[in-house]
Structure 1
Amino acid sequence: MTPASELAATTSLPIGSDADLAWVRHQVRRLAAELGFGLVQQTKLVTAASELARNTLVHGGGGQAEITPVTDGPMRGVQLVFADTGPGIRDVELAMSDGYTTGGGLGLGLSGAKRLMDEFAIDSEPGRGTVVTVTAWATGTPGAPAGPR
């Protein structure tokens, strides 16, 4: 997987306020539309981005989002990286389970984002922070997966 050379490079956005969350959502939707994602795909991508950006703000104390257009052969996609230097996650497996929450919500943020994306990776350690990397592929491009794996 390589950045799509004909498209813009990585966009880095700070996450430190609710206004930043809205800007992240806007930029993700804009890029997904440019890459030919359908409306349903755009909605899934923006929903996952919103959940992960909110986690970065609320649980990580703020951080950064990176939005990158990517290609893999003929496939076009969007890779999102959300990073913070907050307290980290003690038990990633537990945090990924449906219904687990430390913030009083529904407990579907991380697990829900994983279900919405084609690729999902999380790297977290107590005291070191958290990095979540997700990728979605436009289903209209040759070789793209039919939907989240």
Structure 2
Amino acid sequence: MKMAGGVPDIQLRRITTDSDIVAARKLGRNIAESLGFSRPDQALVATAISELARNIVNYAGKGEIQIAVIQDTKGAGILVRASDQGPGIKDLSKAMQDGFSTGNSLGLGLPGTKRIMDEFDISSQPGEGVLVVAAMWCKP
């Protein structure tokens, strides 16, 4: 994946509150719309960003969401990078299973986000936070 035009155009949102989640979600939807994503795909991008930002607020307390336009042989896309310096995830394989949650949720956030996006990568070490990088490509 390359940034559009070789120059990173990254929109950064610090995430600490519910209003930050809403702002990041709206930004992602607007970028997806500007790239020509269908309305359903715009909603999926917004949902993925919302899930990742919600995890930051609920489990780490603070972090950031970076959103960038990317260009590849697949065409244009949107890249979402969610990071925090929270407690991390003890068992990543369990966290990626539907229904697993260490909080009071349905446990669909991370596995759902992986299903929504075309590309998804997650890394975490206990005590060192979480990094999720995901991308969705604009379908013609």
Shorter-chain-normalised TM-score: which range?
over 0.9
Residues 74 and 137 of structure 2 are in contact (CA less than 8 Å); yes or no, is this contact kept in structure 1?
A: no
Task: Please name the residue that 1:99 is paired with.
Answer: 99
Task: Please name the residue that 2:18 is paired with.
Answer: 18
Render the CA deviation track for 1:29-75: whole Å, top value 9, x for unaligned. 00000000000111111111100110011112210010000000351
Task: Please name the residue that 2:117 is paired with.
Answer: 117
Structure 1 outlier segments of 4+, above 3 Å? none
Number of aligned pairs?
A: 140
The amino acid of 2:80's aligned partner reads: L
Once residues 23 and 32 of structure 1 are traced to their aligned partners in structure 2, the CA distance between those partners, rounded to angstroms, is 14
Once residues 2 and 60 of structure 2 are traced to their aligned partners in structure 1, the CA distance between those partners, rounded to angstroms, is 28
Q: Percent identity?
A: 40
Task: Please name the residue that 2:82 is paired with.
Answer: 82
RMSD: 1.4
The amino acid of 2:10's aligned partner reads: T
How high is the TM-score relative to the length of structure 1?
0.90
Instruction: Tell me how far 1:115 sits from its aligned partner.
Output: 0.3
Matches within 5 A, 1:1-149: 1-5=1-5, 9-73=9-73, 75-140=75-140
Q: Compared with structure 1, are the counterparts of its residues 138 and 7 closer, same or farther at alpha carbon in structure 2 (3 Å cutoff)? A: farther
Gap regions ≥5 residues in structure 1 = 141-149
Once residues 106 and 136 of structure 2 are traced to their aligned partners in structure 1, the CA distance between those partners, rounded to angstroms, is 24
